[in-house]
Amino acid sequence: MPKLLRLTTVDISLDALLKGQLRYLSHHFEVVAVAADTGVLAQVGEREGVRTVAVPMHREISLWADCKSLWALIRLFRRERPDIVHVNTPKASLLGMVAAALCRVPHRIYLVTGLRFETTHGLLRLVLKTMERIACLCATKVVPEGDGVKATLVRERITRKPMQKVLNGNINGIDLCWYDRTPEVEQRADEVRGDSSDFTFVFIGRMVGDKGLNELVEAFDRLSAEREDVRLRLVGRFEEELDPLPAHTKQRIRQNPKVEEAGYQSDVRPYLAASDVLVLPSYREGFPNVILQAGAMGLPVIVTDVNGSDEVIEQGVNGVIVPRRDAEALYGAMAQMAAERKRTAQMASVARKMVAERFDQRDVWAAIAQMYKRELGDDV
């Protein structure tokens, strides 16, 4: 059975991004999951039924630590002798592809998701673009998560290699059985909703600047000053190291009685079911899972015109697309959604069907397995 190493920077990414996929692939390949262990790596291995290996890696740039991680990966690849190394997340992609190339792993697949350089400037942008170019150069196959990512890679001259997304895009598809309005989920949604009948917008994700939180809070402040029947629920944790929110945005959040901080939630289904519209005003994305989750739960979505988001949302059909970094346009979309309830309900009625037709998880997994088998060819 061919050996497949799936590599991410930290185990949280394996846990959140590849749930169920590794178990599925283990029926076709000997799967080894590799990441830095922050405390959940063993749980991932037990859940997925695969072997795990911890390799220390850091999300931030650190030359000495990164050299140590690279050497650890080289030793791992020499010992394991994998047929395929498949990487995603920025640091694991760079180090994993370089190590795999040095060890002459025959099939080196780089799945390109979000591109960090899109929201940076100056020297940091140059460094991040160089990292992407090196990862792509060392890969034998570059797979963009969506058409938008592919277009960016071409436009920014990151790689000239032929690229094709898997199926319709996205890293893992959507589990339609899990993301469904079951009686249990609806009961928990009632608890989240409480006695409020407000029209509720929900944000789910990292509470950082490049997720568009500054514009979202500004837009909602204006809307809630005009209407008493709206609410904004924020689901996620504040990050204090990478792109933290400025103090004035945090102050606005805590001073507005119509803004609810739910914190990080391992199960977002009740929060989606208790809401009317998901808002994701990001500056950059690869192919955001939360949009698929919201669609599967029957929510229309307001997104910005960034990679991935505009590949799921069809303007005016299952949501609304607005320009990024534009609080005025975001306010307009939110105000229209709250005012035109019938139109919003129509968008909600088609949301699940549109997601199910293109992003069913089992179809995505099967397409990934077929991609591996095509790469292996006669070696299978």
Closest CA to 100 of 3, 17, 5, 30: 5
Confidence of residue 346 (pLDDT cuts 50, 70, 90): very high
Cβ neighbour number for residue 335 with a 10 Å cutoff: 16
What is the phi/psi pair of residue 80, to 5°?
Answer: -80, -30
Q: Is 29:2 a contact under the CB 8 Å cutoff? A: yes
Q: What is the DSSP string of 269-299?
A: HHHHHT-SEEEE--S--SS-HHHHHHHHTT-
For domain 3-173+361-379, the CATH class is alpha beta
d(CA 357, CA 13): 26
103 CB contacts (<8 Å, ≥6 apart)? 74, 77, 78
pLDDT digits (tens, 9 = 90+) for 57-105: 988 888 899 999 999 999 999 999 999 999 998 899 999 999 999 999 9
Distance, CA of 2 to CA of 8 (rounded, Å): 20
DSSP 138: H
pLDDT digit string, tens, across residues 257-281: 999 999 999 899 999 999 999 999 9
- Alpha-carbon gap, residue 203 to 278, rounded angstroms: 6
**242: closest CA among 135, 330, 124?**
124
Class of domain 183-358 (CATH, top level) = alpha beta
CB-based contacts of 90: which residues, under 8 Å, 6+ apart?
9, 59, 116, 128, 131
State yes or no: pLDDT of 379 exceeds 60. Answer: no
- Tokens standing for 166? 């898997």
3-class secondary structure, 109? strand
pTM assigned to the model = 0.87
Residue range(s) in the chain whose domain bears CATH number 3.40.50.2000: 3-173+361-379, 183-358
In the DSSP assignment, the letter for residue 368 is H
Instruction: Convert the pLDDT of each residue in 243-253 to its tens digit.
Output: 889 999 999 99
Ramachandran bin of 147, using left for φ above 0, alpha for ψ from -120 to 50, beta for the remaining angles:
alpha
